[in-house]
Amino acid sequence: MQRLTERYPRLIIELTVDYSPALNERLNSNELDILLAMNGYLPSEQIDHETLSPYEMGMFVSPRHAQMLSKRPDAWHSTLPFISFGKLARPYEELVSYLADQGVQQPRIHSVSTLMTIVRLTTEGLGIGALPVATVLDEWRRGELFRLALPAPLPAMHYDVIWRSAYHPRFCRGVGRLAQECALEYAAEKHTEITNTCFTGCWVTPSVPSSTPKATPPSI
């Protein structure tokens, strides 16, 4: 946002946070000018877009749950709930599909509207958080979160800058390319932080279900 206001000093910004489908609907009804959201909800002939760098996703748990999983590595698919974005968001749908591929049918998933809420609920021990890895490097490094060594990677989180092709296309593409530059720099910075420094994060290795169990609540 700082670079945006530096490039367009007279620009007045009004930010809106919502699920990607709702934002796309508001873009289509001319209530919004530009989205940073997930694409694929509007006819392609009506919009233009720039693709941003994808976010690697991971599953994280609190130290308390990590200790439990070290003793009961199968509990991740049978006992603990998951934490993800809202049910209308693509990461939620992709998480459900991923868990089904791993043999977890009808999982319990806490759905929330913001990334920081997922982080907070995960660190507080409410379940397994599905999170963009780059956004929780500090918590992972400090031992506030443990990362699950999954049998297969989660689908990456993809974002685009989206605008209506008939409205201010030159300006919108300029904003989109600026966002693209910032996203590439952020991705490179986080990659360097993990690979070229003394980064250490704690891992826990769950086991893959041998059948197709349904997620069940813990025994009390």
User: How far is residue 195 CA from its own chain's centroid?
Assistant: 21
Report the alpha-carbon distance of residue 31 to residue 210 in Å, rounded: 49
Domain CATH code at residue 40: 3.40.190.10
Same domain, 131 and 76: yes
Same domain, 21 and 97: no
pLDDT digits (tens, 9 = 90+) for 53-85: 999 999 999 999 999 998 888 777 778 999 999
Is 180:119 a contact under the CB 8 Å cutoff?
Answer: no
Same domain, 145 and 172: no
Report the alpha-carbon distance of residue 215 to residue 75 in Å, rounded: 9
Burial of 166 (0-12, 13-18, 19+ CB in 10 A): exposed
Written as one string, the DSSP assignment of 25-57 is HHHHTTS-SEEEE---SS-GGGEEEEEPPPBPE
Q: Which among 156, 187, 205 is the end of a domain?
A: 156
Examine residue 190 and state whether it is found in any structural domain, yes or no.
Answer: yes
% residues pLDDT > 90 (the chain): 70
Report the alpha-carbon distance of residue 135 to residue 76 in Å, rounded: 22
Same domain, 108 and 62: yes
Same domain, 122 and 184: no
Same domain, 77 and 141: yes
Of the candidates 154, 148, 29, 151, the one whose C-alpha atom is nearest the C-alpha of residue 90 is 154
Two tokens, residue 61: 């748990």
Examine residue 208 and state whether it is found in any structural domain, yes or no.
Answer: no
- The per-residue pLDDT for 212 is 40
Same domain, 71 and 140: yes
Same domain, 111 and 89: yes
Is 132:158 a contact under the CB 8 Å cutoff?
Answer: no
Same domain, 74 and 109: yes
23 Cβ neighbours under 8 A, 6+ residues apart: 16, 32, 35, 37
Examine residue 215 and state whether it is found in any structural domain, yes or no.
Answer: no
Overall domain count for the chain: 2
pLDDT digits (tens, 9 = 90+) for 77-113: 778 999 999 998 899 999 999 999 988 888 999 999 8
Same domain, 14 and 65: no
Examine residue 187 and state whether it is found in any structural domain, yes or no.
Answer: yes
Residue 172: is its pLDDT beyond 60? Answer: yes
Examine residue 219 and state whether it is found in any structural domain, yes or no.
Answer: no
Report the alpha-carbon distance of residue 204 to residue 218 in Å, rounded: 20
DSSP code of residue 167 = S
Model confidence band, residue 37 (pLDDT cutoffs 50, 70, 90): very high
Report the alpha-carbon distance of residue 104 to residue 128 in Å, rounded: 14
Same domain, 102 and 168: no
- The per-residue pLDDT for 208 is 57
DSSP code of residue 133 = G
Q: Which among 156, 175, 205 is the end of a domain?
A: 156
Work out the angle at residue 110's Cα, subtended by the Cα atoms of residues 106 and 113, and round it to the nearest 5 degrees. 130
Same domain, 48 and 113: no
Tell me what the mean pLDDT of segment 22-44 comes to.
91
Q: Which among 108, 135, 156 is the end of a domain?
A: 156
Two tokens, residue 69: 């999983």
> Which residues form the domain of 145?
57-156
Cα separation of the two ends of the chain? 48
